[in-house]
Amino acid sequence: MNKAEQQIAETIETFEQVAGGYDNPSLRFFPFCGDRIGMHLQLKRGQKVLDVATGTGAALITAAQMVGPQGRVQAIDLAENMLDRAEHNLRMNGMDNADFHVMDAGRLDFKSAYFDAVICSFGLFFLPDMLGALKEWHRVLKPGGRLIFTSFTANAFQPQGKLFRDDVEAAGVSIEDPGWQRLNNEEACRNILQEAGFDNIQLLQEQLGYHLNDEKGWWDIVVNSGLRLIYNKLPAEQRDAFQQRHLEKIAELKTDKGIWLDVEVLFSSGQRP
Ligand SMILES: C[S@@+](CC[C@H](N)C(=O)[O-])C[C@H]1O[C@@H](n2cnc3c(N)ncnc32)[C@H](O)[C@@H]1O
């Protein structure tokens, strides 16, 4: 296995592991963002949509609702447990206008110029070859079709994110720069869209944050999101002590409203000429 394959395998193993807790209310920024994607793209009845890295379906549900029974969403992910939950969530919402595929976001098994829209919420930055993937997404879009992807800005999850990182490093575990920081600013997002051949590029930043009740809400996020990739690197025998030490610091952030969770999100969209 080369480094990129190893990275993908590690990411997928982590998402297989967190699928059961991913729909936790502390992580509600995912469905909030899925709704915003549908609105920004103004999906229409009858359209064909590809939802890349669908997870448990946060963006898929809104897309399926907006395209209606005459439209269809193809949902892809490499973590089967996430896809199972997405399928369950779609049915719980009374819909069945989507298909679910175990498929790598960087190697699509769809014909060219097929989709009216491609959406990807918080998935692109997990891919070792982001540009290669964007070119694939461009290929499957019809001319005039639109792509939108989301990423977190550098402010998102701060100051908790930095405290988490410092505490992990203090426990003797070194952390490579997390992949999601590669798309944390407008310039990086615009450049990669341009390089992949998109035009009519639009960038928008929105604050989707809220107050968590207490430090346990932050812990829900650590163990049920991409942060689990880092947490898993701690030796098992150190984890309980780490959790206690870390949450004591997080608890100090609490005000009478709870603990503010910054979720500043970048929506980057472009059109296939
Ligand atoms: C943070 S979750 C986002 C899920 C969903 N879009 C949402 O907004 O809630 C990232 C998802 O990307 C998926 N993923 C990561 N690498 C992938 C790849 N190479 N191909 C397909 N899916 C991938 C993971 O399995 C996970 O479900």
pLDDT digits (tens, 9 = 90+) for 50-71: 999 999 999 999 999 999 999 9
On whether the CB atoms of residues 160 and 224 are closer than 8 A, the answer is: no
What is the rounded distance in angstroms from the CA atom of residue 231 to the CA atom of residue 23? 19
**Nearest-angstrom CA–CA distance, 119 and 51:** 5
Q: Which residue's alpha carbon is nearest to atom 5 within ligand 1? A: 55
pLDDT in tens, 189-233: 999 999 999 999 999 999 999 999 999 999 999 999 999 999 999
Could you confirm whether domain 3-152+179-209+264-271 is CATH 3.40.50.150?
yes
**Which residues, 6 or more positions from 70, have their beta carbon under 8 angstroms from its beta carbon?**
45, 46
Give the distance (Å) from ligand 1 centre to CA of residue 259: 27
Asked if 260 and 161 touch (Cβ cutoff 8 Å), the reply is no
What's the gap in Å between 258 CA and the centre of ligand 1?
Answer: 29
pLDDT digits (tens, 9 = 90+) for 251-261: 999 999 999 99
Query: Is any atom of ligand 1 closer than 6 Å to the C-beta of 15?
Result: yes
Distance CA 134, CA 42 (A): 21
Q: Is 130 close to ligand 1, i.e. is its CB under 6 Å away? A: no
> Is 55 close to ligand 1, i.e. is its CB under 6 Å away?
yes
Asked if 123 and 12 touch (Cβ cutoff 8 Å), the reply is no
What is the residue-wise DSSP string for 122-145? Answer: S-GGG-S-HHHHHHHHHHHEEEEE
Q: What percent of the chain has pLDDT over 90?
A: 95
Instruction: Report CA-CA distances (Å) from 73 to 47, 101, 147, 155, 169.
Output: 8, 11, 14, 32, 41
For the range 136-139, what are the long-range contacts, defined as Cβ-Cβ under 8 Å and sequence gap of 24 or more?
136/105, 136/106, 136/107, 136/108, 137/50, 137/52, 137/108, 137/196, 138/196, 138/197, 138/198, 138/272, 139/108, 139/112, 139/113
115, pLDDT greater than 80:
yes
Which residue type sits at 160? Q
Residue 176 pLDDT: 80
Phi and psi torsions of 44, nearest 5°: -120, 155
pLDDT digits (tens, 9 = 90+) for 78-112: 999 999 999 999 999 999 999 999 999 999 999 99
**Residue of 8, 11, 28, 149 best suited for mutating to test ligand 1, as the one with most atoms within 8 Å of CB:** 11
